[in-house]
Amino acid sequence: MGRKVWLNGELLDREDAKISVFDHGVLYGDGVFEGIRSYGGKVFRLEAHVRRLYDSALGIRLTIPVSQQEMAKAVAGTLDANGLKDAYIRVVVTRGAGTLGLDPNRCPQPTIFIITDKISLYPDELYERGLDIITAATMRNHPNAVNPRLKSLNYLNNILAKIEAIDAGTLEAVMLNHLGYVAECTGDNLFIVRDGTVFTPPTAAGILEGITRNEIIDIAREQDIEVREENLTRQDLYVADECFLTGTAAEVVPVVRIDKRPIGTGKPGPITKQLAEAFRRRTRE
């Protein structure tokens, strides 16, 4: 069965789902998006993802012409139309087609599309033995330039750091903020464990407040594991007992080396495994 794409209220074959070359999402990266997961045909934390999408749109003064409830129905309907159970869902809202030039008022109608596809995770062996990552020279965007809490279509900042990771032979890179503190990775939030306490950068460090990140914080506290949202330096990463990343696609993946330095024992740690297993149980319930 060919994949269907939801585009401005219609379900189209993916080959027929096209947008204008004058769309400001293409011309200027003017738009917002969300990445969402489904498990067993049920969309995970759909309400939270849709709310964050609308918050991002509000942040760039983009009015989405359907309600949050209608958007949630469209996501579920697109998933159902494609017959997918465990899937990745991408919801995109652009400023819409307009004229050349930055003026958003020249775009009379936003473009909305929803893509569903099979999920692409890190290879299974990396969940068993852990990731090697680096710290990138590319700095996280200054929060007063582009607020990292806006999940916008302009991901060049992340892409440049991702290129550094690929050049170093790794799959991820830690990005530091303008003050030199740890922010997040190119596509995932970051956690460390030290003396039984879990630490993660606060939103003020210039991170996207991840849905999976928040889920892991909730799970840890339910299991009486202390979680602190504090500024972290590279040195904090190097001396951590454990490190792991979280994200919609990645879920919970352990990190065992940063900048060629082993983290803890150089193997995924017990708290990482405990939280990953708890998250897996929660999403499969």
- Phi first, then psi: give them for residue 179, nearest 5 degrees: -95, 0
The one-letter code for the residue type at 205 is: A
- For 121-149, give the DSSP string: -S-HHHHHH-EEEEE-SSPPPPTTTS-TT
For 119, counting Cβ atoms within 10 Å of its Cβ (0-12 exposed, 13-18 middle, 19+ buried), the class is middle
Q: Is 118 a catalytic residue?
A: no
Asked if 183 and 148 touch (Cβ cutoff 8 Å), the reply is yes
What is the rounded distance in angstroms from the CA atom of residue 156 to the CA atom of residue 141? 10
Catalytic residue among 18, 118, 151, 267: 151
Asked if 134 and 173 touch (Cβ cutoff 8 Å), the reply is yes
Q: Any idea how long the chain is?
A: 285
- Which positions are catalytic? 151
